[in-house]
């Protein structure tokens, strides 16, 4: 896959995406202007579920706070309701972050948006509700980049994946978000279908768990030290292959290539610089995410040192300070 990116203005570029097919011919797959938003000249700081360190996650106050704090992008999760709508909710059940209970897909959109989504975090947010995708797009359109993660279709619900893609595509078009949204998912089939519906919208392929297991494998293979010499050499070769982006990168590249993704999103904090370089050589951006326990400064610094193009965090303002200091020359 390759990009051709002619500059169309001081802050605008149109990206024509090509992919190499077995015949070696090139097909124009889509034109994307996601990067037409002004770029900060450093790695992007992406507000994970909004400014979720200080506000209830995936709510309008969290997204507004992220904008006020200077985040470059907000990330949010979309779940399917029983009547085919999309609500902004991370879990497939309502219990953890709302006053409701049970699977989201068993409730109507109006029922879920009437729930309390702030009291679990703090009594100060007791009146905050679960927003629909339409509500969020209406509030954010034209103000900030949005990373919309499509959650995997609920099991046992016929046509759920198709409905998720159709509803997301409808909302993006109706709210004029085509050039400011990055649609991502762990579910490759969702992204493939979404690409068919809206070929001009940027896609991001999420990494399934930790793509780089070099340290764990290294420890494992070290335990084989008493075995015969050939086994040890094979083990070390396997570790070296992974360390340079071998098997893990191959899996990741397949995911990116399948949907002509603009970006790849591996789990941090141990993202090898070689893996980042491998994607950069293919003109693919690398945006890394962290679980809550790993979301701290030393890990942000490790990701920036590896050369990532951005990272997701709950701590927007602190992360911005680090990104400005360490990544001022990157863009």
Active-site amino acid positions: 48, 90
- Going by C-alpha positions, the residue among 238, 243, 244, 263 that lies closest to residue 253 is 263
- Please give the backbone phi and psi of residue 230, each rounded to the nearest 5 degrees, phi first: -60, -40
> What length does the chain have?
331
The angle subtended at Cα 162 by Cα 158 and Cα 166, nearest 5°, is 140
Among 176, 163, 102, smallest CA distance to 134 is for: 176
Q: How far apart are CA 5 and CA 304, in angstroms?
A: 24
Helices (H), 46-142: 60-69, 109-113, 133-140
Residue with tokens 């992220």: 66
Separation between Cα atoms, residue 249 and residue 306, nearest integer Å: 15
Three-state SS letters, 137-179: HHHHCCCCEEEEEECCCCCCCCCHHHHHHHHHHHHHHHCCCCC
Q: At what angle do helices 133-140 and 60-69 cross, to 10 degrees?
A: 20
Nearest 5°: the CA angle 154, 158, 162 is: 80
∠ Cα 113 116 117 (to 5°) = 85
């Amino acid at each position: 896959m390759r990009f051709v990116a002619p500059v169309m203005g001081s802050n605008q570029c149109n990206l024509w995406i090509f992919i190499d097919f077995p015949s070696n011919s090139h097909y124009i797959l889509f034109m994307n202007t996601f990067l037409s938003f002004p770029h900060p000249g450093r790695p992007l700081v992406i507000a994970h579920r909004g400014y979720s360190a200080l506000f209830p996650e995936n709510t309008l106050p969290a997204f507004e706070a992220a904008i006020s704090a200077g985040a470059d992008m907000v990330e949010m999760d979309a779940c399917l309701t029983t009547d085919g709508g999309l609500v902004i909710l991370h879990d497939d059940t309502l219990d953890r972050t709302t006053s409701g209970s049970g699977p989201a897909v068993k409730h109507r959109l109006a029922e879920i948006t009437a729930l309390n989504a702030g009291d679990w975090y703090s009594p100060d947010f007791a009146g905050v509700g679960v927003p629909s995708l339409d509500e969020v797009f209406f509030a954010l359109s034209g103000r900030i980049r949005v990373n919309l993660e499509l959650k995997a279709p609920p099991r046992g619900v016929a046509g759920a994946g198709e409905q998720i893609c159709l509803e997301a595509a409808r909302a993006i078009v109706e709210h004029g978000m085509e050039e400011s949204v990055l649609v991502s998912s762990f579910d490759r089939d969702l992204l493939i279908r979404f690409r068919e519906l809206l070929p001009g919208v940027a896609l991001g392929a999420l990494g399934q768990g930790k793509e780089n297991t070099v340290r764990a494998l290294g420890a494992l293979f070290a335990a084989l030290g008493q075995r015969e010499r050939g086994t040890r050499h094979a083990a070390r070769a396997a570790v070296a292959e992974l360390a340079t982006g071998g098997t893990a990168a191959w899996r990741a590249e397949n995911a990116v290539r399948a949907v002509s993704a603009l970006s790849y999103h591996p789990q941090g904090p141990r993202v090898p610089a070689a893996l980042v370089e491998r994607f950069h050589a293919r003109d693919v951006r690398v945006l890394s995410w962290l679980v809550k326990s790993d979301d701290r400064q030393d890990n942000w610094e490790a990701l920036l040192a590896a050369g990532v193009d951005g990272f997701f965090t709950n701590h927007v303002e602190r992360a911005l300070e680090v990104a400005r200091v360490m990544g001022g020359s990157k863009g």
